[in-house]
Structure 1
């Protein structure tokens, strides 16, 4: 098992007893901090995965916080191969501590950054330009501004005698198989999400899993998918209403990340009261010179299709 480092050059590992205070601190920067804020909340409340959080050695005066690993599975399965970062919008100059961090982050190797506020990613791109290239996928961050959703009994009865209910562990395999970035999130994470968080599916009259949606380890509602043969039946709307209600009841603010061109999802969430807050970015950082074991250079040739799968991960489809 990879060693968990107690500190880096500019950051230190957070003790578990500090997490509630950090959650409160991040709450001052909503909605910009929402993804990070709820990652910490789900970690404290449900321990879905074994994550590690680092803050600056001068926290909170220099308020930069890191989350390793940013994804539960990476190409080389290394703890420090992927991460996510948050910094308040009026303190972006403190991201220079990230640039000079050479213990926790090996900038000479590919790095996988999970969804991060676009302002933060732009600052990272500024200093990374002299190190390598950045392949980005942008999405719009939508949250429910006034979480007041009521669910009628009629919505609990799904069309064509189908049923909606909490998923079970045995459903994780099919969900993982059809997840666009299944090589960036291991099947075990879906099993744990189903065990600990609201994860609902619509089942056909024949008992087939037709559509599903889960709450993620960072508090978002994601992985909403409907099998092609069951589309245009309103299952996505029904699942979204149910999961939104449950997420609110659990003390979270519902949010999703949507591709700007995804008109269907944009229309659905707009009807439910979700509002766009900011742009978020998932990125692969590739140094100009990579070792023979690294993944290709610059995202060309055969790298294009795997990169697309990695990047599309949690966006609504």
Structure 2
């Protein structure tokens, strides 16, 4: 969801009026300014017993035609392919924003949506990965600590960007303002363009 107004009252009223939203599920609100969400919206989410994490971010997109034309690179000693359900536990364990999610939910996303993983050729170990996560776009990019600075993040991003476009989705990412490494990867290495800036609020329901 995106916010189209700076009016505290209008935002809270609009979100409350949209009956189709199940605030107990994952909902992402992007407010197009680098500041926290208006107090009225915070109060509304609290009444709906919704919690979440909030962070300033920029949204970047790769034009679909560019994604289709990507040439997937090769790196000695590894290969890249889609993830499988058996990889859900590792992805879940390494994701810092896993609160509100479950291993089963990650497994379902792997089964239903595009994903990419870099595997070692000698033992098929998964060392880097990325998923397409609705509604947050390309997300959960992670490389195991001991395998960083080898080009694996760029490789999974190439592979996933092309798969996302082939599946009829738009390759886009939300990048935290302090995540300079991801900003450099997506803009300088991959050619993503900034679409907008804002503040992202990722919701999940209160624990029972």
- 251 and 89 in structure 1: CA distance in 2 versus 1, 3 angstrom threshold: farther
Give the TM-score normalised by the residue count of structure 1.
Answer: 0.51
Say whether residues 1:247 and 2:164 are aligned partners: yes
**Structure 1 residue 164 corresponds to structure 2 residue 80:** yes
Please report the TM-score for the alignment, with normalisation by the length of structure 2: 0.75
1:185-211 Cα deviation digits (max 9, x unpaired): 111121111112111111113221100
Residue 158 (structure 1) shift: 2.8
Q: Is the 8 A contact 1:194 1:214 kept in 2?
A: yes
Query: Which one has the bigger strand percentage?
Result: 2
Report Cα offsets for 1:125-172 as digits up to 9, x if no partner. 15358888x97311111112464133436x1x332x211111111111
**Which residues of 2 match residues 129-168 of structure 1 at below 5 A?**
136-145=54-63, 147-149=65-67, 150-152=69-71, 155=73, 157-159=74-76, 161-168=77-84
Aligned pair count? 193
Cross-structure match for 1:225? 142
Counterpart of 1:276 (choices 184, 194, 208) is 194
Distance in structure 2 (CA, Å) of the matches to 1:226 and 1:174: 11
Q: Is there any run of 5+ residues in structure 2 with no aligned partner, and where?
A: 47-51
Q: Which residue of 2 aligns with 1:184?
A: 100
- 2: distance between equivalents of 1:223 and 1:129? 26
Structure 1 vs Structure 2 CA RMSD: 3.6
Which residues of structure 1 form unaligned runs of 5+?
Answer: 1-84, 106-110, 286-293, 296-317
Give matches, 1:196-235, under 5 Å.
196-204=112-120, 205-218=122-135, 220-235=137-152
Asked whether the equivalents of residues 12 and 41 of structure 2 are also in contact (C-alpha less than 8 Å), the reply is no
- Structure having the higher Rg: 1
After TM superposition, where is structure 1 displaced by more than 3 Å over at least 4 residues in a row? 85-94, 98-101, 111-115, 119-124, 128-132, 282-285
Q: CA deviation at 1:123?
A: 9.5
